[in-house]
Structure formats: structure tokens, C-alpha cells
Structure 1
Amino acid sequence: MLAQAITKVTAQEYLLTERASAIKHEFIDGEVFAMAGASKKHNQIASNLVRIIGNQILHKPCSIYSSDMRVKIEKANKYAYPDIVITCENEDFEDKEEDTLLNPIIIIEILSDSTESYDRGNKFFYYRQIDSFIEYILVSQKKFHIEKYTRQTNNSWLYSEFNIIDAQFELSLISCTISLQEVYDKVK
């Protein structure tokens, strides 16, 4: 997912260049990293999740965005592209372009060999600095396995995992129930 750092730039320079680029880049404290493309499995899982969740929040004041919605992590001076991001009620964007979300409540990352360590480690650390962020979902491409982290009132994180095809998990903030069978539909 992340390649070599290109050079040190300001956040404003990053945004100006990023908005004109055909390739997505993440920004971490002045460094810009090109992002790699996704596999067929990754795309199928992401499509399934957007459809499943999107259908369940259709008449709720929530929105779901795929990997083209950038998230700004102000406390970490970072911009990231989650695989899926969900927000509700008062969406807050960085500027009038509305392409950089400031207040996600749920972030979903689909793990791959090249991103798993980063998604579990530093990226989760950065995301936790967003006050509105409450649920983090990690989805395996290799097996039926979903992990869920939920922020508690004391700022600790509750871990749950689901690894049976008949299992279901809930995105409690948006009252959305998801079966692993639906998540992994058409994934071979």
C-alpha cells in the first residue's frame, strides 16, 4: 500500500498536488507516500461491505464512503485513505472541496500482505487520535476473519473477533448487522 517517501512538503502543498493526481498518496508529517492498487478479493470485499452497510443506513443520517474519501488526522499531521469510512449527522470536511473528512465514526480496513502490519499498528494509532472515531474493523482477505475494535468511555478499546462463516457482527453506532457470509460473497 505505502511505497517510498517522495519528499517533505506542507499539508497545503500535499492537498494541491493530491487533488490533481491520478494516483492516491498518504501524507504523514510532511512525507508523501504513494499507495498501491488493490486486489480483486480486496475490491469484492469492499464492494460487498459498501452495499451491505449502505442498504442498512439508507434512511439514517449517515454516509458511507469508499477508498477515495480522504481522512485528515489533525493531531498527527496526517492524511489517510481508509478502505471504507462512515460518518453520521454533522459531517465535517476540511474545506469546500468536501474530499477530506474530519470526523469519521467507523473506519474499515481490508488487510493485505503489504498493509496488515501498518493497518494494525501505526495507522490504527493515528486513527485513535480522531475524537469522533469509535469503531475500527479489520477484514482479512485470506480467510473468514473480521476483527472489531470499539472505543470505550474510558478511551480503552474492546476487541472482538469473528471467524465462522455463519457469524454476524454489529456496527453498534449505526445499528447495522453484517454476516460474514455476505462480506465474503463471491470472494474466492
Structure 2
Amino acid sequence: MVISQSEYYISPEEYLEGEKVSEIKHEYIDGQVYAIAGASDAHVTVSMNISMLLRNHLRGSACRVYMLDMKAQIDVINRYFYPDAMVTCDPRDRESEYFKSYPCLISEVLSESTEGFDRGKKFASYRHLESLQEYVLISSDQMSIECFRRNQEGHWVLYPYEKEQEVHLASVDFHCAMPAAGYAYAAIYEDVVLGGGGNKN
């Protein structure tokens, strides 16, 4: 979540150097830096779950999975964000230690304070990444996943998933079941209390 803004222009180089030593993470939008607030238990747990599932699925491949602390660079519009989870299979991304420029999949976990930004301006920014094939929004308070997938014409098509359906992330050929509510193990939602204190899923 964006909680504060700098008062003067900061170059990308200054931003990247500052992030190496900053105790607080900041996202960067065209010369301005914005501090990020801490996330809830559910948000962090869902982020970790999807990252671990993708990591296990892609182990041994040329793809790398990153979560929370790795920046996505959108060079054409001068922006850097911290996705909750990100996958890159492009060898060019091995050249940069502190950000990745060619992700094929980005996932953001939704919370009440960040949902509008994640759906709106952040998604609009991510669409400038020519390498990006899927943008995945995961609710942190109900079993709901929305996958926006770029088709052959370059249009973004929504594929929604809810409980009792199988999630498919085509960019990395990942499949994951979403059991009915009440199941003890629900992969992406493992150890998450949904619905503001309901059953553990």
C-alpha cells in the first residue's frame, strides 16, 4: 500500500541505490517514491503459498520465482513495483540482481486498502511489459482468483476461479485445485482464515 510520497524528483539510479539500504520498501513512479505499508497475516500467507507452489512446480526449469522483495521494472514508463509474486523465464533477467524486467507472470494479493490500485493503475502499468502473459489477482478474504491472460491479439481476457474449480496459469502451465470451503488443505489458501474469522482453509 502507498502511504507516503517524496517531495522532489528522484532518478531511477538514486531510487535503486536507496532501496539497497532502506529499512522501508518503496515503489517508484516516474520520479516519485512511495513507501509501502506492512501487510496482513492473510496477505503474507497467500503470497508465500502461491510463490512456494510456483517454485515447486518450476523447480529444475529455466524459470525463477520471486516474492515480495524483488522489484519489477517497467522501463518504458519509468516505474518499479514490488509484486507479491513474480515469475520470469527470460535469461536476460539473470543480469540484474535487484529488479526483473521480463516477467511472464505477476500476481498481486488483494486487500481492502490495495485492491483499487492493484486493479487500476498498477495493472495499467504492468500491461506495458511486453513479456507479461498473465496478471493474477488473489483475494485474501475469500476463495477467489482472477487471472487476466493476454491472448494472441494482445487483448487481456479474464479467467475467474472460485472454490471447487481448478486454477490454470497457462504462462507456466500450472494447475491447482480450489476445494470447497471447509477443507483442511486448499493449497493457495492453506493456513488462511477466510471471511474475517471463518473456517480455516
| TM tier relative to shorter chain | over 0.9
Aligned counterpart, 2:3: 3
CA shift, 1:94, in A, is 6.8
Name the Cα RMSD after superposition: 1.3
Matched, 1:182 2:187: yes
Residue 23 to residue 93, structure 1, CA distance change in 2 (3 Å) = farther
CA shift, 1:172, in A, is 1.0
CA shift, 1:64, in A, is 0.4
- SS for the counterpart of 1:153 is coil
1:51-130 paired onto structure 2 within 5 Å: 51-92=52-93, 95=96, 98-130=97-129
CA shift, 1:92, in A, is 2.0
Aligned counterpart, 1:30: 31
- SS for the counterpart of 2:38 is coil
CA shift, 1:152, in A, is 1.1
Distance in 1 (alpha carbons) for counterparts of 2:62 and 2:101: 17
Distance in 2 (alpha carbons) for counterparts of 1:45 and 1:142: 10
Give aligned pairs, total: 185
- SS for the counterpart of 1:142 is coil
Tell whether the 8 Å contact from 2:106 to 2:135 is kept in structure 1 after alignment: yes
- Which residue type is aligned with residue 22 of structure 2? S
CA shift, 1:2, in A, is 0.5
Aligned counterpart, 1:173: 171
Distance in 2 (alpha carbons) for counterparts of 1:43 and 1:14: 25
Q: Percent identity?
A: 35
Matched, 1:148 2:153: no
Instruction: After the TM superposition, list the runs of 4 or more consecutive aligned residues in structure 1 that deviate by more than 4 angstroms.
Output: none
Deviations 1:95-135 (A, max 9, x none): 4xx11101011000000111100000000000000110110
User: Which of 110-119 and 9-18 deviates more?
Assistant: 9-18
1:29-48 paired onto structure 2 within 5 Å: 29-48=30-49
Radius of gyration: which is bigger?
2
Structure 1: unaligned runs, 5 residues or longer: none
Deviations 1:11-52 (A, max 9, x none): 111111111101100010011100011110011111111121
Structure 2-normalised TM-score? 0.88
Structure 2: unaligned runs, 5 residues or longer: 179-185, 194-201
- SS for the counterpart of 2:93 is coil
- SS for the counterpart of 2:135 is strand
Distance in 1 (alpha carbons) for counterparts of 2:90 and 2:30: 29
Tell whether the 8 Å contact from 1:107 to 1:137 is kept in structure 2 after alignment: yes
Tell whether the 8 Å contact from 1:71 to 1:80 is kept in structure 2 after alignment: yes
